[in-house]
Every structure is written in C-alpha cells, then in structure tokens.
Amino acid sequence: MIFDDEINNTVRYLKPSGIRKFFDLAATRKGVVSLGVGEPDFITPWHIREEAIHAIEKGRTFYTGNMGLYDLRKEICNYYKRRFGVSYDPDKNCIVTVGGSEAIDIVLRTLIKEGDEVILPTPAYVAYAAIIELAGGKVVEVPLKEEDEFKLTPEALKKAVSAKTKAVILNFPGNPTGGIMTHDDYSKIVPILKENGIFAVTDEIYAELTYEGKHCSIASFDEIKDRVIVINGFSKAYSMTGYRVGYILAHKDLIAMALKIHQYMIMCATTPSQYAAIEAAKNGDRDIEEMFISFKQRRNYIVKELNRIGLKTHMPQGAFYVFPSIAISKMGCEEFCEKLLEEENLALVPGNAFGDAGEGYVRISYAYSMEQIKIAIERLEHFLKQFK
C-alpha cells in the first residue's frame, strides 16, 4: 500500500472483517451452497414494496427532515409501545437512520470520548468493535458462554466494569449466537449499570425473533431508561434489509447530540424507503407473525438435524442463527470452514469472525429454504464422517 504512512492510523490498523475474507473465498467457487447469510430469505411483503413504488410514482423523492418523516417516527413509537410496552415521544426521542448500522455508528460516536471503555459481549456482530475503535474507544470483550446460553451474566459484567467504562453493547436476541435476555436476566444486570452510570446501547434488531416468551427491552426498566439507547430497524422484522431503514430511540438530550452527526453526515434516510417503513410499522404485524413461525420451524428442524449428524448444537432462543461447537473436528473454526468449502462446497461462517470468543464454533444461518437446508445438512454430514 503506497499511502500507508498517510492513512489515518485507526483505519490503517483496523482489522478487516473475517466475513469479508470468507465471502471472497466462497465467491471464487461455483455451485456453493451457503448457510452464511445474515438476512431473512423472504422478499419484502408486497404491501410494503407497493408503498415504496407508490412513493416514487407520487414524486416523494425529496429529502425529508433530518429526524425522518414525522409519520414514520410516530409509527415507530406506536410500534415500541404496542409490541414491547416502552413509550417514546416521536418529536423528541427518535431519529430515523440509514439502517441499524448508521444508528450504531452515530450512537457510539455521540457517547465515546477518547479512551472510554465499551463493554462488548462476544461473539458479537462484526461492526461493533470496529465502530468503537473508530470512535476512539477501547473495546473490552466479555466472552459469552454456551453453558450460560450465551447470556450476559452479572458476574461477567461486573468483572469487566472499570472507572473508564462508558457503555455496554447489548444485542439480544444476538447475532451470531441467537442468545436472548429475559426480564429476569436483565433484572440482574440493571443494578450494576445503574450503580456505575453505564449507558446501555441495546441493538434490538432481532427482537421480533424471540422464540420463547416475549422480547424484553432493557428500556422497559424505568430506573435506567435515560441511559438506555435503543437501536432497531426494519431489516430483520419485515425482511427489508436493502431499504436501509433503522432508528434510534433515546433520551431527548442524546437524540439532540446524535442528530448533529446524522444531519451533517447523512441528511436523512432514503425517502421512498421511509414511506415503505410507515406501511410496515402500521400494517406489518401479520407479516412478522408469519415469518416468525417459519423461522421457528426451521430452527427446530436444523437444531435436531445438526445434533443428529454429530454437531453439538444448543437450541437458540432468538434470531435466525445457530452456533454449534465444532470441537468434534479438533480444528480451528477457520480451518474447518475452509476445508468444508473446499471439500463439500458448503459455506458457513467461522465463529472467530465475531470475536475471539467465537473460536471453536461456526455460525449457521437457517434463513434458507428447506431444500437448501437439507442439501447443506447432507454435505455437512458427509464432511463430518472423517471425524468419527
């Protein structure tokens, strides 16, 4: 690289995503069956697509206000009240963002001062650590354990807290583990956050895919609500990944600060997508239910099949991933995935792409048709025979 010395050091030394590396590898091959995708397999429900088309036809293609369309913010707040029992004011507590990704970025840039520590339970979605570092923060990883069902325990959290701790990232249901936190689980960590004045940045993008019981938002704990920042979006609940519509719900003073970054960097989320999102939030509850049932059934199927072929897999309670241990192979997860791709043309994602705590595991997405899942299981079963 000829410009190395001139590049911003944080960017220069930022670790490239392990997923990107694996995508490049898989893309060179033909006939690959992949269970490596982190997005739903449903095409966006037609009534939502139709709203986006209608918005374009009607010429609704100008910038919107920085915070996003009022009607969309209103529907988002209605949705949070209706589905999770948490109240927010659309005028003061909500910004519509370009996907959950922008929301993560501007929230962390708003909060982090140089040298602040951010607690990150791992394995975790790949963007968190990178964005914390880009914002000048220091990542403090807390490994989530399979025996704890990949939940954040109060003991692990306490151990990670220091005088420099600014925030903790919560992503439950989580990518890549499918772990969830119940009301009981949260009630054990809320006092620690309160006592230490730690912000909870809670990415609830998979909230609608909570299989046992109802999703609990940590924002429902009034004693810390001012320090909870909810990140969510339309990608996973309504299968709208390509629309890029997310949002932040938080205390008005934090929203005012985050809005400063958003207005200079982004201006506003894509206008036709915002109109589509209004339709989703208003009339999409039935779509959520249908996708939920389909994902739950495929989860049941794949967990049973993986255990049958000898890959020890815990039953995840959320999202659309399973995170089985590959201990049986006595291989590192990258070697396992590379060999699997080479020998069986099957693409899974190595667990360590989500942090060191993911070593020894692979992420398998079941957002695929039954036909694809069956072929993948056959290939995996064939591959595993050599380890028996």
Residues that bind other proteins (CB under 8 A): 17, 19, 22-23, 26-27, 32, 34, 36-39, 41, 43, 125-127, 175, 242, 293, 297-298, 300-301, 304-305, 347, 349, 370
> In the complex, what is the shortest distance from the CB of residue 38 to other proteins, in angstroms, rounded to a whole number?
5
> In the complex, what is the shortest distance from the CB of residue 347 to other proteins, in angstroms, rounded to a whole number?
6
Nearest partner of 228 among 194, 259, 262, judged by Cα? 194
Instruction: Give alpha helix (H) positions in 135-270.
Output: 154-160, 183-196, 252-265
> In the complex, what is the shortest distance from the CB of residue 309 to other proteins, in angstroms, rounded to a whole number?
13
Closest to other proteins by CB, 301 vs 387, is 301
Identify whether the C-beta of residue 158 lies closer than 8 Å to the C-beta of residue 192. yes
- Rg of the chain taking only CA atoms, in angstroms: 21
Q: Look-up: residue for tokens 């949002």?
A: 247
DSSP state of 262: H
Identify whether the C-beta of residue 235 lies closer than 8 Å to the C-beta of residue 100. yes
Closest to other proteins by CB, 90 vs 233, is 233
| DSSP-derived pairing of the beta strands 346-347 and 349-350 | unpaired
Closest to other proteins by CB, 56 vs 370, is 370
Q: In whole angstroms, what is the distance from residue 96 CA to residue 72 CA? A: 8
Q: Which amino acid is at 25?
A: L
Closest to other proteins by CB, 283 vs 307, is 307
Identify whether the C-beta of residue 22 lies closer than 8 Å to the C-beta of residue 337. yes
Closest to other proteins by CB, 248 vs 367, is 367
